[in-house]
Structure 1
């Protein structure tokens, strides 16, 4: 009998999560039934959205998220032992999944990992997975950038933001990124070739935008929310486009303590188009995004970086560090 370890919510989050707010429980798994597979986790994703999604969950609820897992036992011919799958299995070490159950793909797609050559399997959780598709579909299909336009990205050294900026460059745009350290600024400008990047902790945002986009920005890809977004929106051109992808600056805020922005006022005075974005709306096109991002990687146009934490027991540490902005690129936990 296989025993799985599962992280559950030990205590409701109040402000920034603490490691003690999450605990491991063990559970015996039953024998496989028809159409079921047994998967062993290889790596897990930690993402900002998890912080907001877990709010309101009851104590004892499992922590959720994506993982890449190896099939170690199978009762379905299309899912042979040895293949790897991408599944929304949560923070757990072993999972039994009925591959014919439509609920398996009710949130994020469940699929066998396509051939990515000698690239790390963990990329299926980042640049070749959910975050990569968020960047690809959010920018290209929703913002619809035109060559020569100016794109501003917050959270620019994170998993999504770093890819958004590179795709914008591929499409002929000028890119301005805001991030949280000088090390990240250096990575964005020297390696990813952002036109400008600034440490928002040490920079006057308004002055930075006056310098780098004196006529205003055309597109704002917002991963942060809060006060910085208020300033960026003030520097948008008439009829600019704003994509609200995330609001990591507010996820740990307690009730009544959340920063406000001027999206409503800006849309009326500048005729800005504002759209909230969830990559789950693009599930039917999932492999299209992966295929294009993989092609750009192989052409040397799209670079990636991961911040790796080793060990399932360090999942909470990786999660909290990611919320603090300690990662560069995608935050991954490996078994």
Structure 2
């Protein structure tokens, strides 16, 4: 155990992200200091936020060119110099895209040992918790209301829609492509699916939600957010989770139009959030998510690629909408 394979970001792209913006590097395995754990990466999480981190500081520091690409992972402790952690423990932390990392124990979360391990990154990880709190805390759906979800076949959106159905809502998913739309209605129980590549979203929304939208869970921003804004009912709620349409490539020519007037006239609530805001409530959320999965009410979709060397392509593909469900890369 002397070589630590790493993926470095070689430059911050000004246009669309490409695999050429990364390179495979052989570094050394770090030595943990007091208060740290040495971990071996098992599963790397791929998220649209990875691209946003290249553009500047967000809720974390920006990723600088020439450094290990940032990213969270499920990892196994192989050496501990911190109380409360032992060899063999599973943890979630910001290891970056590399095989080994030494992390301060206070920055990682211990995970339960369960199978499949991949569920710790999808339904029981950031994706599931983001869906849970964003929909239930900010969206506050009520039985009989209409809930619209963008990027509905993705890691978060696929879970949001199913939780909304569990809560008795009429659920409309927006996704790219006929196959994804078919999956939403045939496998995941959505009431309607809109292919944004095939028809204007605004017109399709008026047909699918003739009585308007009560809750919109926004993963994409841009033109789809604009279309949903115009379809909102009075006192509607919008949970702003992400804006993947604006992360990769040139800045859009304009933002969603009509926001100030619509928010006032329709008395809308529009709120952003990140899952770390709810750290003290994760345990209860996980209990409910586990119950729904065990009962078959919540189906888990995962998109797993193999090999550290494939993480750049995995992220580029995710930004292009290639994935269905939670995308991750397995290292062992």
TM range, smaller chain: over 0.9
TM-score by length of 2: 0.93
SS in 1 for 2:53: helix
Aligned pairs for 1:180-191 (under 5 A) are: 180-191=176-187
Is 1:225 the counterpart of 2:221? The answer is: yes
SS in 2 for 1:186: helix
Q: Structure 2 CA distance, aligned partners of 1:189 and 1:174?
A: 12
Change in Cα spacing, 1:198 to 1:256, as seen in structure 2 (3 Å) is closer
SS in 1 for 2:216: strand
Q: Structure 2 CA distance, aligned partners of 1:30 and 1:160?
A: 33
Instruction: Encode CA deviations 1:262-313: one digit per residue, 9 max, x unaligned.
Output: 3222102211111112112112222222222112111111101111111000
How far off is 1:29 after superposition?
Answer: 3.0
Equivalent residue in structure 2 for 1:320, among 298, 309, 316: 316
Change in Cα spacing, 1:169 to 1:30, as seen in structure 2 (3 Å) is closer
Residue 281 of structure 1 aligns with which residue? 277
Residue 164 of structure 2 aligns with which residue? 168
Q: Unaligned stretches of 5+ in structure 2?
A: 57-62
Q: Structure 1 CA distance, aligned partners of 2:2 and 2:30?
A: 8
Equivalent residue in structure 1 for 2:112, among 114, 126, 147: 114
Instruction: Encode CA deviations 1:70-109: one digit per residue, 9 max, x unaligned.
Output: 122233453222221111211111012232xx4x1xxxxx
Deviates more, 1:198-207 or 1:52-61: 52-61
Residue 73 of structure 1 aligns with which residue? 79
Aligned pairs for 1:51-130 (under 5 A) are: 51-56=51-56, 57-76=63-82, 78-99=84-105, 102=106, 104=107, 110-116=108-114, 119-130=115-126
TM-score by length of 1: 0.92
Q: Structure 2 CA distance, aligned partners of 1:255 and 1:229?
A: 16
Q: Structure 2 CA distance, aligned partners of 1:19 and 1:60?
A: 15
SS in 1 for 2:304: strand
Q: Structure 2 CA distance, aligned partners of 1:41 and 1:55?
A: 25
Q: Unaligned stretches of 5+ in structure 1?
A: 105-109
Q: Structure 1 CA distance, aligned partners of 2:134 and 2:162?
A: 13
Residue 41 of structure 1 aligns with which residue? 41
How many equivalent pairs are there?
325
Q: Structure 2 CA distance, aligned partners of 1:154 and 1:30?
A: 41
User: Is residue 19–residue 312 contact of structure 2 (8 Å, CA) maintained in 1?
Assistant: yes
Change in Cα spacing, 1:256 to 1:157, as seen in structure 2 (3 Å) is closer
